[in-house]
Chain A
Amino acid sequence: MTLLPIGILGTHSVLPGRRVTTAEVLTALGKPGDPARWEKRTGIRARHWVEPGAPLTPAATEALRGALVDAGLRADELRRIILVYSGVGDVMFPATASAIAAELGLAGSCDAFDLKNACMGFLTALDVAARSVATGLGPVGVVVAEFTSRAIRPEEHRPFLIFGDAVSAAVIGPARSPDEGILATFLANDGSHPRDVFCEESSRTGRKEFIQMHGTAADIAEIAMSALRRGLDGLLARAGVRLAEIEWVVVHQPNGAMFDAILDDLGIDPARTVRVVDEIGSVAAVAIPFSLDRLRRTRPVRAGDRILMLGVGGGISYGATLYRVGGAA
């Protein structure tokens, strides 16, 4: 496959709202007994939840501003803004990406739209952004913002226990060196399991709907693992590399136990990845860009290193991207 000559020029993450411990969540669920047991079972000690009604746009704008600073770019250099979430933005329409652009003082100089593909939203948007840059439309700001606490409630225990709110942004632009770019992308959706993790449309049912998880945890985990394997195999075949050759791996983190299972099942060395789920919970499409940001900031990522980003989400959606770092990481 030909290198797609783009660079991840900057990243930044924001944890909005208040830090909420698993002990607090259990109290809200009427199960205040043994937080340590649930922390071990979910692999989640805490997550952030925004106040009810808090708008997403300020945190998303802050994340994108941070990513622009990291990239050394001005906001008016952006040619496109893609906002990703699994549920909803600040309004059902127009696109909340437009409000972010307006907050940045942009009007008429770039396009802005919202994109959804469940937990795979970032890798899907990264693909769109990379192709935009490659066809002359860049830099592109990708903001992933999940305020999932809006769509969970104690009556649905599993979502209530694991989901958190987070925002992460990346700025995608032209490659900084000849060898930088996307080495391979493998993205896919398979709609044969649409009702494992889902949220009905409120405008259809006439009432506010919440995230539901059907099927046993084991069933959901098996479906997700199978999809991850397919995504990884598809990517490695396309890129012509072996997993062991790749320097860094960023993988979706639906909960701590499953993150461990993913690393174990796929044979990913924990030293080559970062773990964020224990402190931020399951943050849906933010998990990968948040981990990428953490990786870039805390690990010795060097020019020429390859970063594998691998994910799975509702729908089901799955896939992976292999990026080679250029210039200064």
Chain B
Amino acid sequence: MSIASDPHIDECRSIRPRVALIGLAGVTGSRHTSCAELGARFDLSPEQIVAKTGVTGLRRLGRGESLVELAGQVGAAVLERAGVPRRAVTAVFGSSNPTSEDLLPTFTAAAAHALGLADVIVDHVGIGCCGGLQALRNAWNQLTVDALDGRIGHALVIAGDHTSRILDPRRRQTGTLFGEGVSVALLTNDPAARTGYAIDRIVTRSALGEALYALRLKNPYAQPPGAELPRLEMDGARVFEFGADAARRFLALLGLPAMPEGCYLVPHQPNLRMLDALVERAGLDAARVYVDGIRTIGNTSAPAAMLGLEDALRRGLVDATGRVMLGAFGAELQVGAALLSPLDPLALVADPPLVNTRVQEAA
């Protein structure tokens, strides 16, 4: 592993006002695909799929469901629960692969409009499975500087992917892995915030040369006339090797020698075997690492870690007085991590869920 700890973290800490995550919700697609159905499609037994991926079923967007509409619904629910009026939202940061409604305008701009937000800053990043964390970091950046400037505000972080649109229907490697959903987080730099988590540190980095194109979707505009639209390509072995080392990368990025005492890790949910290897290589306590997302909904790409945090909170997997580490990694290969300190995390989750039906249906 070549990633050194970030020398700028100390600078960040020395000037950092507090940015807190005060709202969180997610939704997965309404269409459930069982392992038996996947097995029939790809000539595999359900047991083989579980053994290879850990997936027991996938949740994908159903006919007529759109990422933008879901983002609008989830975002509205998050704002309502947090008691934050739309006019208090100053920026929307989002991420999705090119799987939403339009290439231009972006998913994030469309989601902001679906939420009824106008005259807000909109940033859209495209970065694969690490996109949600990158958007979170950009929102943190925005609010941190605003706070230094004496301005209090709120930012939404919206991540969603409709990955089945770019899958090769003939490839079992990817066809058995990806689920779909949207996560929305609400951040504020209001020092009076007392719910959710404070974001202590957040760092992203590109590992690049190690396996830049281990995951790739070619550009349709660079293909010969008449060519089929490109589909997701994955070099599973290289992705596995990178992902299995991810927890050590998270720690290095955050400048931590080891997982803090009592800290719960919510990593990206790429594949259960990879997560098992991640736990083993970093010497982590498996009971403090979230893996249920890949089991029940599949790899949702950009929103996976945030969906996982919500699920873990809802089901009591996280000690409400303990710290949480979010970790993401994905195409190119990008890696990012955030360390959160509890304010009042349980206030984040609504019971019943705001819009998420995943827990009930997939249990």
Please list the residues of chain A having a beta carbon within 8 angstroms of any beta carbon in chain B.
1-2, 4, 52-55, 79, 86-95, 97-99, 101-102, 106-118, 124, 127-128, 130-132, 134-137, 147, 150-151, 187-192, 194, 197-204, 206-209, 211, 230, 314-315, 317, 319
Contacts and interface: CB of A to CB of B under 8 A. Distances in A.
B216 A94 contact: yes
Nearest to A83: B126
A94 B222 contact: no
A110 B165 contact: no
B124 interface: yes
* Interface of B (DSSP majority class): mixed
B113 interface: yes
B215 A93 contact: yes
A107 B145 contact: no
**Which of A95, A106, A124, A194 counts the most B-chain CB atoms under 10 A from its CB?**
A95
Contacts, number: 260
7 contacts: A52-B222, A91-B218, A93-B332, A116-B125, A118-B104, A128-B138, A199-B102
B8 A79 contact: yes
Contacts of A97: 206
Given A191-B105, A204-B99, A102 B209 contact: yes
B73 interface: no
Nearest to A208: B220
Nearest to B126: A114
B64 to A, nearest CB: 13
A88 B334 contact: no
B99 A201 contact: yes
Contact of B102 (A2, A106, A201): A201
Nearest to A112: B206
A97 B66 CA distance: 28
A102 B109 CA distance: 30
Contacts of B125: 95, 113-116
A245 B332 CA distance: 46
A319 B330 CA distance: 32
Given A107-B2, A108-B3, A92 B212 contact: no
Nearest to B91: A187
A113 B126 contact: yes
B309 to A, nearest CB: 21
A92 B100 contact: no
A283 to B, nearest CB: 15
Interface residues of B, number: 77
B11 interface: yes
B56 interface: no
A90 B222 contact: yes
A107 B123 contact: no
B51 interface: no
B202 to A, nearest CB: 10
A195 to B, nearest CB: 9
**Which of A4, A134, A201 counts the most B-chain CB atoms under 10 A from its CB?**
A201
B104 to A, nearest CB: 4
A44 B14 CA distance: 51
Contact of A207 (B97, B162, B229, B332): B229
A203 B165 contact: yes
**Which of A113, A197, A198, A207 counts the most B-chain CB atoms under 10 A from its CB?**
A113
Contacts of B118: 188-192
**Which of A52, A98, A111, A315 counts the most B-chain CB atoms under 10 A from its CB?**
A111
A104 to B, nearest CB: 10
A198 B104 contact: yes
B45 to A, nearest CB: 30
Given A98-B206, A117-B124, A199-B104, 10 more contacts: A91-B213, A91-B219, A94-B212, A115-B126, A116-B126, A132-B141, A135-B144, A136-B11, A199-B102, A202-B103
Contact of A314 (B9, B105, B113, B215): B105
B90 to A, nearest CB: 10
B331 A192 contact: no
- List the 4 shortest-distance A-B pairs measured between CB atoms, nearest first: A191-B113, A94-B332, A136-B11, A94-B331
Contacts of A112: 206, 208, 332, 334
Interface in B176-224: 204-210, 212-213, 215-224
Contacts of B331: 93-95
Contacts of A132: 141
A209 B166 CA distance: 15
A136 B8 contact: yes
A198 to B, nearest CB: 5
A207 B121 CA distance: 31
B276 interface: no
Nearest to B207: A108
A102 B209 CA distance: 6
**Which of B142, B219, B222, B331 counts the most A-chain CB atoms under 10 A from its CB?**
B219
B15 A95 contact: no
A329 to B, nearest CB: 24
B134 A317 contact: no
B12 A135 contact: yes
B109 A117 contact: yes
Interface in B91-125: 92, 97-106, 109-110, 112-114, 117-125
A106 B207 CA distance: 9
Nearest to A230: B119
Nearest to A4: B145
B208 A118 contact: no
A189 B122 contact: yes
